[in-house]
Amino acid sequence: MAGIWERVRPTGAFEHRLPILPFKTELTGLALGLRTLADLKTTLQSIYEGNIFSREEVDDIEALAVNIAEGTTAQRLIYSARLEWALMAAEFGQITEVEFRTALGI
């Protein structure tokens, strides 16, 4: 399945890898009401200097943004912790894409 998984998994092309910390930071800012989806997209595009995301990647990013911005503050912070776990576990090859998507609800 195409999408953001291809940017975080360890076997992906290095030049297309998604730096996890800026991605997680932007999504956490979104959860806390400090950033917007437009801010997140601008930051990611600046990191990649014009490397365009596929439609599937944008769909995943938008789904993550919706998921992290919903619910109570506690629910958003729990999702943030789940996001961090899933991104790190994916990067270290500890989970599959199915487990990644299931954990994040995407």
State the total domains in the chain: 1
Residue 12 confidence (pLDDT) above 80: no
CA distances from 61 to 24, 93, 98 (A): 11, 20, 16
CB atoms near residue 84 (< 10 Å): 15
What is the mean pLDDT of the segment spanning 57-71? 91
- 78, 7 Cβ separation under 8 angstroms: no
Show the domain range for 25.
Answer: 5-12+19-104
The reported pTM is 0.84
Q: In this predicted model, which residue has the larger pLDDT, 42 or 14?
A: 42
CA distances from 26 to 19, 21, 66, 96 (A): 11, 9, 13, 24
